[in-house]
């Protein structure tokens, strides 16, 4: 028995833990935060920043001395020899097997300005990738908005269906009483009950769709959101028409990167100068007449100048200029499309604001008509079918008003996505 009680206790605790993990109240800002913590795309931002940081550090280290270690062992067909012989000098001929291992240390002196440009370019490339990722995150944010407001719309539909169901149930009870009193008929009762069943079916469909939306939101946010959770209606936000989309930052950064390429081309025209030190051990060493293994070193100033770039510089600069024009054209197209979307969205907002004012007036009239019809039905002045029509008219008016309110909020938040604010 004790073992059974222990198992039951574990099951109860497990259910309590599971229940506590379910989210019972949700707001839009929370969904943004949860998606940032859960969605893999957000993790790319940290990876890009770290990659850029390491790349910049590597670029800075290019100013440090470059050390290379080399070695070789060779056999050659001939070696250096003196063109004469002397009876007083015993000159040992050089071996045809020669060996050498040495280190080469080079400290660049004129490449620091190039390194600075390369460092700036790497930073800009990282910022471009961040801007692209931020643009994708705005798309994710818009998707969250669509799902969240979709849930709110379905919740409102469910609430309106509950109201019409209450009206029908109340009328059904009064009709049953009327049948007993002889003031109503079974035909009227059948009409009301059929409409009640139809309303219940609508409610079931609404609940199924709501659960599907909530499950999708749970996948995006990584949270176990309860199907009965309360979704807080967001507050109205002020319209901001200033366009701050990350794509604009991306275009500006891409132009800046091309400017840096232009600078780097000009820097490459300058010869590369630096100090070098070479030391090693081999046979022969610096004394080519010695056949012994010896240590050696030499140092000084070294320069190199690649003049082949002068053949292609003009074409490369022209390509950069064309790419800048291409980016500027893409920027203009993007701004134009964004402004078109913004104007359409603003026009829909204005239209909804007008509709909401009219919806409120229509709803008050429909409520008054329904209350009058309820009394008329009880007195047998109108038919049950007429009363059902009046109920549906009020329901449609209320639902339209509430849906328009949510749609207005949705468009306001959509404007924040369009403009990037």
Quick one: pLDDT at residue 5? 38
The answer on pLDDT for 337 being more than 90 is yes
The pLDDT of residue 208 is: 92
In the chain, the percentage of residues whose pLDDT exceeds 70 is: 92
**Stretch 108-133: mean pLDDT, rounded?**
86
d(CA 326, CA 332): 10
On the question of pLDDT at 262 being above 60, the answer is yes
Q: Are 348 and 410 in contact (CB under 8 A)?
A: no
Of the pLDDT bands very low, low, confident and very high (cuts 50, 70, 90), residue 390 is confident
Q: What is the model's pLDDT at position 9?
A: 36
pLDDT of res. 17: 40
What is residue 83's predicted lDDT score, i.e. its pLDDT? 66
CATH code matching the domain that covers 24-73+94-419, chosen among 3.40.50.460, 3.30.930.10, 1.20.1600.10, 3.40.50.620: 1.20.1600.10
pLDDT value at residue 162: 87
pLDDT at residue 11 greater than cutoff 70: no
205 versus 185: the higher-pLDDT residue is: 205
Q: What is the pLDDT of residue 258?
A: 92
pLDDT reported for residue 342: 93
The answer to whether 98 touches 234, Cβ cutoff 8 Å, is no
pTM over 0.85, yes/no = no
Domain residues of the chain, as ranges? 24-73+94-419
**With helix as H, strand as E and coil as C, how does the chain read?**
CHHHHHHHHHHHHHHHHHHHHCEEEECHHHHHHHHHHHCHHHHHHHHHHHHHHHHHHHHHHHHCCEEEEEEEEEECCCCCCCCCCCCCCCCCCCCCEEEEEEEEEEEECCCHHHHHHHHHHHHHHHHHHHHHHHHHHHHHHHHHHHHHHHHHHHHHHHHHHHHHHHHHHHHHHHHHHHHHHCCCCHHHHHHHHHHHHHHHHHHHHHHHHHHHHHHHHHHHHCCCEEEEEEECCCCCCCCCCCCCCHHHHHHHHHHHHHHHHHHHHHHCCCCEEEEEEEEEEEECCCCCCCCCCEEEEEEEEEEECCHHHHHCHHHHHHHHHHHHHHHHHHHHHHHHHHHHHHHHHHHHHHHHHHHHHHHHHHHHHHHHHHHHHHHHHHCCCCCHHHHHHHHHHHHHHHHHHHHHHHHHHHHHHHHHHHHCC
Mean pLDDT: which of 60-69, 163-172, 214-223 is highest? 214-223
């Amino acid at each position: 028995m004790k073992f059974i009680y222990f198992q039951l206790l574990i099951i109860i605790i497990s259910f309590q833990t599971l229940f506590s993990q379910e989210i019972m109240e949700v707001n839009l800002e929370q969904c943004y935060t949860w998606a940032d913590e859960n969605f893999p795309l957000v993790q790319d931002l940290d990876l890009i920043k770290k990659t850029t940081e390491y790349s910049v550090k590597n670029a800075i280290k290019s100013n440090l001395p470059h050390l290379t270690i080399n070695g070789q062992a060779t056999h050659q067909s001939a070696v250096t020899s003196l063109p004469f012989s002397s009876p007083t000098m015993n000159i040992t001929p050089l071996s045809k097997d020669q060996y050498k291992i040495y280190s080469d240390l080079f400290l660049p002196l004129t490449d620091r300005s190039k390194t600075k440009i390369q460092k700036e370019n790497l930073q800009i490339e990282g910022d471009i990738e961040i801007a692209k990722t931020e643009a994708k995150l705005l798309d994710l944010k818009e998707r969250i908005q669509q799902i969240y407001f979709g849930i709110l719309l379905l919740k409102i539909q469910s609430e309106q269906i509950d109201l019409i169901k209450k009206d029908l149930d109340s009328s059904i009870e009064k009709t049953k009483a009327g049948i007993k009193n002889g003031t109503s008929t079974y035909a009227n009762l059948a009409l009301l009950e059929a409409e009640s069943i139809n309303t219940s079916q609508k409610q079931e469909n609404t609940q199924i769709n709501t659960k599907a939306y909530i499950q999708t939101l749970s996948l995006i946010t990584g949270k176990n959101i309860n199907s009965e959770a309360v979704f807080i209606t967001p507050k109205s936000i002020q319209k901001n028409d200033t366009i701050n989309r990350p794509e604009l930052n991306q275009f500006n950064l891409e132009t800046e990167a091309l400017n840096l390429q232009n600078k780097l081309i000009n820097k490459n025209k300058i010869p590369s100068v630096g100090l070098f030190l070479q030391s090693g051990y081999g046979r022969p060493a610096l004394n080519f007449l010695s056949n012994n293994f010896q240590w050696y070193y030499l140092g000084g100033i070294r320069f190199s100048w690649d003049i082949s770039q002068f053949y292609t510089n003009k074409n490369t600069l022209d390509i950069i200029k064309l790419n800048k024009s291409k980016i500027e054209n893409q920027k203009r197209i993007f701004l134009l499309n964004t402004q078109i979307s913004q104007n359409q969205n603003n026009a829909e907002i204005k239209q909804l604001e007008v509709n909401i004012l009219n919806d409120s007036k229509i709803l008050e009239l429909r409520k008054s008509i329904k209350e009058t019809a309820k009394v008329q039905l009880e007195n047998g002045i109108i038919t049950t079918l007429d009363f059902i029509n009046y109920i549906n008219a009020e329901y449609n008016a209320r639902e339209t008003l509430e849906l328009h309110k949510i749609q207005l909020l949705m468009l306001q938040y959509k404007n924040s996505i369009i403009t990037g604010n």
